[in-house]
A and B are shown apart, each in its own frame.
Chain A
Amino acid sequence: MKIEEIGKFCSAEVLCGEEYLDGEVYSACCSDMMSDVLAFVKDQGVLITGLVNTQVIRTAAMMDMVCIVFVRNKIPTEEMIALAEECGIVVMRSALRAYEACGILYSRGLIGNKGDSVCTNP
């Protein structure tokens, strides 16, 4: 799925990283617990979260993720946007709830774990 399509399907507003909207992503994860993202994510390019603090951006950067979708209309701070720009990450916000955003993206083909249905260790 193109990153641009994530924005379209989630009726999301793109807050930064417009230049990367053409990029392709193949899987996503959803969590408000950054500890779990750091422990379980592997090659998922998109993070869907309702948590808003700078550690969300850093966690995504550490995991080489390319797009963050803030759900439930959460608004990231300017500091977060600046950090995301520096890290080359697309940031969007959507009014959808996490469950809805995940359901829509999954049904459109953005799966959770590249063919695996369980969490795998790195």
Chain B
Amino acid sequence: MHEPVTFHFDVDGENFSSAGEASVIIKKKLRQLGFSPDIIRRVSIAMYEGEINMVIHANGGAADVTVMDEYIEIVLSDKGPGIPDVELAMREGFSTARENIRALGFGAGMGLPNMKKYTDYMKIDTEVGVGTKITMRVNTTG
């Protein structure tokens, strides 16, 4: 049993250009910790999609990553508008992103489905007008 390793990031909602900085750092940290490329890629993609979502929809938020013995947990929390219909939001191709976001290469409606696809566990806690918390886990043992 190792001590969990934790990382905390504030995700700036004002600056689209800086979105994803935390994911790049996590990718490096996980590499230093010696995880396999597949696990590193899955964690960093899921987190990156989440970061982009927080910047597009929620004016930023917080990202917390905890490295445990059996899995890596990513918790993304924001005080954004919340997701009114989670089932609809999980559908591939569904997006509420505005046209200006699409022009930047995002808003194809693949973010949440992708986060689910790349992780072993995903839970969405959301309340309209209050915010959203997404917990994801990627297993690190067989």
A: residues with CB less than 8 A from B are 32-36, 38-39, 51, 53-56, 58-59, 61-64, 79, 87, 121-122
- A53 pairs with B17, CB closer than 8 A: yes
- A64 pairs with B19, CB closer than 8 A: no
Total A-B pairs, Cβ < 8 A: 72
- B117 pairs with A122, CB closer than 8 A: yes
- A62 pairs with B105, CB closer than 8 A: no
A-contact bits for B105-123, CB 8 A (1 contact / 0 none): 1111111011001100000
| Complex: A61 Cα to B110 Cα, angstroms | 18
B23 at the interface (CB under 8 A from A): yes
B: residues with CB less than 8 A from A are 16-20, 23-24, 27, 37, 41-42, 44-45, 48-49, 52, 102, 104-111, 113-114, 117-118
- A36 pairs with B110, CB closer than 8 A: yes
Q: Which of B27, B107, B108 has the most C-beta atoms of chain A within 10 angstroms of its own C-beta?
A: B108
Chain B residues within an 8 Å CB radius of A39: 108, 110, 113-114, 117
- B37 pairs with A58, CB closer than 8 A: no
| Complex: A53 Cα to B15 Cα, angstroms | 12
Q: How far is the CB of A14 from chain B (nearest CB, A)?
A: 23
Chain B residues within an 8 Å CB radius of A53: 16-17, 104-105
Known: A53-B17, A79-B17, A122-B42. A62 touches B106 (CB 8 A): no
- A38 pairs with B114, CB closer than 8 A: yes
| Complex: A33 Cα to B113 Cα, angstroms | 16
Known: A55-B19, A122-B118. A35 touches B105 (CB 8 A): yes
The main secondary structure of chain B at its interface with chain A is helix
Chosen A-B contacts, 20 in total, with CB atoms closer than 8 Å, are A33-B108, A34-B104, A34-B105, A35-B106, A35-B114, A36-B110, A38-B114, A39-B108, A39-B110, A53-B16, A54-B20, A55-B17, A55-B106, A56-B105, A58-B20, A58-B24, A58-B48, A61-B27, A64-B41, A87-B24
- A35 pairs with B48, CB closer than 8 A: no
- A63 pairs with B41, CB closer than 8 A: yes
One of A51, A61, A87, A122 near B105 (C-beta < 8 A): A51
Q: How far is the CB of B131 from chain A (nearest CB, A)?
A: 23
Q: How far is the CB of B88 from chain A (nearest CB, A)?
A: 17
Q: Which of B23, B52, B111 has the most C-beta atoms of chain A within 10 angstroms of its own C-beta?
A: B52
